[in-house]
Each structure stands twice: as C-alpha cells, then as structure tokens.
Amino acid sequence: MASAAPTGGDLSRLRQLNSLAVFGALRADGPLTLTAVAERTGLSRPSTKEVVDQLVELGWVVEVAPSAGTIGRPARRYRFRAEAGHIAGIDLGVHTVRAVVSDLDGTVLAETRQAVTPATPNDERIAAAERAVEGCLTMADLAREDLWTVAAGTTGIVDTAGVVRICAGIPGWAGVDLTARLGELFSCPIEIENDARLAALAERERGVAKGIRDAVFVHAGRRTGAALVIGGEVHRGFGGAAGEIGLHPVAHWERSADHIHDCPAVPAGVPKRDAARHTFAAARDGDPAALAAVDRYCDELAVGVSAMVMTLDPELVVLGGGFSPAGDVLLPRLRARLEEVCLRMPELRASTLGEECVAVGAVGRAVARLDAKHFGLTPGGIAPAR
C-alpha cells in the first residue's frame, strides 16, 4: 500500500526502532541478560548494551541482581521498570463503579468498588469513580500525580472525544463529556471507551483470547452486548457503534437477560443481582423451568452471535460478562444453536477473568497508548516521529 508507506528516517530512527525492540523483549519476558536480549532482538551484544544503558538512564529499565548458581561469569540482568508510572482504570457501570490502579505492566496493585444504581445522578457517579480511584491510590501508597493516564469504560456509545452519545442503561448519562469531567479531577491524559470493548481487550491481552487475531466477545450479564477483536485489535467502528448487533430487531437483546432473571426457578425475595445464580444452579439440577429459560436466552443470544460469526468468521467466540461463570450451562446450548447455521464453527470459550475485566481492559488500553506516545509505535506500524 504505497499510500500509507512507512516514512524512512535517519540513524536516530533506527536507534528508536532498536530501542523499542529491546524494550519489548525486556517487558515481555521478564528479567533478561544482555545476551538473551541480543538473541531476541537480533542485535549484536555491544549495540544491545548501548541501548540498554540508554534505557536505564531514561528510567525505563533497571538492573537486578544476577542469578546465582550458573557456570561462568554471572551475567548482569535487567528488567522493565514497571513502577516508573501508574495507570488508573475505571469501570463506570450501571450498578457498580470499579477502579483498579496498575503499574506500567498492567499488573493490578489495588482494586476498589462503589455501589451505585441506574438512578444515581451523574455528579454522584463521577464522584464515586473519584472515590474508587482515590481508594486504590491509598491502598497502593500513591498520589494522584503518580498517575500517567486515567482510562475509563462505560456502557453505551462513546465518541472519540469521550462524550457519551447513546446510553440505554443509565438515564441522563448520554451527553456527559467524560473526558472533561475526569480531566477536572486528574491532570493526566484521559481515555474513554465502551465497556464491552475494554472487556474484549482484556480477554485479548490476558484472558482466554490471548494471541487470537479474530474473536467475537459477547457480554452476557444483566445487559447483553458484544465487541469484536479483528486482526488483534479491538474494532471500534466508524462511529463507535461496532458490535451493537444486539439492537437489531431480529436479535433484540435489550430484554434477553430477563429470561434468566425472571425465571420461576428463582425463589421469591432474591435480589436481582443474585437471581441469575439461582437460575443457573437450578438448570444444573435439571429444573425444567430454568432449563427452558436458559434455552430461550441462548436462542436469542445465538441470533446475534451467529450473525457476527457469519460476518467475520472469527477463530473464537468468548462468553464474558456476569453470566460467564455459567459457561457450563450456556455454552453447550449456544454451540448447538450456532452449529445449526454457521458455515464454519468457531471455538467457544467462557471468560475466566473476574468482574474487574473492564477496568483491567482500560488499563491495557492506556498501556497501549502510552507505548504509542513514548515510542512512536502506532498499533500495527511505524509512524513518523512527531
């Protein structure tokens, strides 16, 4: 594609490239000796040394104690200094606001949650997010100034500027400029993205979709939604509306979860947040009403999922969201429905990440952006250094 040809450059650009390669090797594979780094990057030892020294000077890398017990002169070892900066990830959910604080590796250092309701006013919801982050910072013994990025995920469709455009779950949430609101609280860059997409990103980076290029992520829980991983990247769509197949009248996922929540197998008086667990437990015990509810739910889920699968032909479909622990109940039924229509059946897996996956995905997103910024690496290519 000559139109988007990577611009060449001078020697410093080459150094930048090699720097990035060394940095990537160190970050991906933990503490490494110089020889190991050289092997991984294809550089010679002297060059590797020079690059590593530079990275040490910049504070990205530190030397660690050599590993004892080896034959020959012990090699100096280096590792990525993940503690050089920190990131806050926020999940602005309908019923819960979660936050995590992580280092630059994405390792979660602290994690908090605040209960809210759909009726919680916007200001109060933002304040809950602030408290959640503040709690994490306290737990991790950090200050706001230590944060390099705050990334947040929210239900609904968010534009590239971080303004909520459409949101079904939270009345009055549409129109809120999250970048601006969070920008008032934190002086670092703010990233806003749709929650299902961040969950998909988390699966792609550290969940069951690790290493998969093309996957469909289904958020099955109190809300039903979807997100796509294409070519290893989470697909946003031109207007940020990718994966909203659930709003298609044929699928109509808006009320699908009701089959699970309003099932007769749920004892009276059980709060809504626990209803699903009862339904799935009853289904495992063979309760006919629960099984019927699960069947109906899977039928509706399958309509949208099959449309996405036949559109994209992904390698994998991930079942995520609050219902994902019930993968043993849901996946066989979903698989049966899909096999009836799909030309090529993708693999099906249930997510194993916990409920903080959106916040973790937010952190992943922020890490990717920081990489791009500090190393001139755009996702999937080399961009001119500006």
Q: Is 30 in the site for its own copies (CB under 8 A)?
A: no
Q: Is 32 in the site for DNA (CB under 7 A)?
A: no
196, HSE (Cβ side, Cα atoms, 13 Å)? 30
Binding at 75: pick from DNA, its own copies, none (beta carbon under 5-8 Å per type) = DNA
CB of 170 to its own copies, least distance (A): 17
Q: Is 15 in the site for DNA (CB under 7 A)?
A: yes
Can you tell me whether residue 219 is helix, strand or coil?
strand
Cβ contacts of 372 within 8 Å, gap of 6 or more = 378, 379, 383
Q: Are 151 and 359 in contact (CB under 8 A)?
A: no
Number of residues interacting with its own copies: please give it, by CB under 8 A: 76
Q: Which stretch binds DNA (CB under 7 A): 42-50, 161-169, 170-178, 243-251?
A: 42-50
Among 308, 350, 353, 363, binds its own copies (CB under 8 A): 308
Q: Is 286 in the site for DNA (CB under 7 A)?
A: no
Among 93, 243, 327, 361, binds its own copies (CB under 8 A): 243
Q: Which stretch binds its own copies (CB under 8 A): 23-31, 55-63, 115-123, 355-363?
A: 23-31
Residue owning tokens 């080459």: 14
CB of 335 to DNA, least distance (A): 49
Among 207, 221, 346, 361, binds its own copies (CB under 8 A): 346
Decide whether 13 or 284 has the Cβ nearer to DNA.
Answer: 13
Among 40, 56, 62, 75, binds DNA (CB under 7 A): 75
Among 232, 270, 295, 325, binds its own copies (CB under 8 A): 232
DSSP 306-370: HHHHHHH--SEEEEESTTGGGHHHHHHHHHHHHHHH-SSPPEEEE--S-TTHHHHHHHHHHHHHH
Q: Are 174 and 157 in contact (CB under 8 A)?
A: no
Angle of CA points 90, 93, 99, to nearest 5°: 25
Q: Which stretch binds its own copies (CB under 8 A): 41-49, 123-131, 175-183, 281-289?
A: 41-49
DSSP 8-state class, residue 247: G
Q: Is 41 in the site for its own copies (CB under 8 A)?
A: yes
Q: Is 14 in the site for DNA (CB under 7 A)?
A: yes
Decide whether 46 or 175 has the Cβ nearer to DNA.
Answer: 46
Q: Are 89 and 361 in contact (CB under 8 A)?
A: yes
d(CA 349, CA 332): 10
**Cα–Cα distances in Å, from 208 out to 288, 345, 347?**
31, 17, 11
Q: Which stretch binds its own copies (CB under 8 A): 71-79, 133-141, 256-264, 366-374?
A: 366-374
Q: The tokens of 320 are what?
A: 């995520």
Cβ contacts of 341 within 8 Å, gap of 6 or more = 302, 306, 310
φ/ψ bin of 94: left (φ > 0), alpha (ψ from -120 to 50), beta (otherwise): alpha
Q: Is 43 in the site for its own copies (CB under 8 A)?
A: yes
Q: Which stretch binds its own copies (CB under 8 A): 58-66, 130-138, 231-239, 280-288?
A: 231-239
Decide whether 194 or 279 has the Cβ nearer to its own copies.
Answer: 194
Q: Is 241 in the site for its own copies (CB under 8 A)?
A: yes
DSSP 8-state class, residue 384: -
Q: Is 71 in the site for DNA (CB under 7 A)?
A: yes
d(CA 205, CA 198): 10
Q: Is 356 in the site for its own copies (CB under 8 A)?
A: no
Q: Which stretch binds DNA (CB under 7 A): 63-71, 196-204, 262-270, 358-366?
A: 63-71
Q: Which of 72, 3, 4, 1 is nearest to 33 (CA)?
A: 72
Decide whether 16 or 352 has the Cβ nearer to DNA.
Answer: 16
Applying CB under 7 A, the residues found at the interface with DNA are 8-12, 14-15, 18, 33-35, 42-51, 68-76
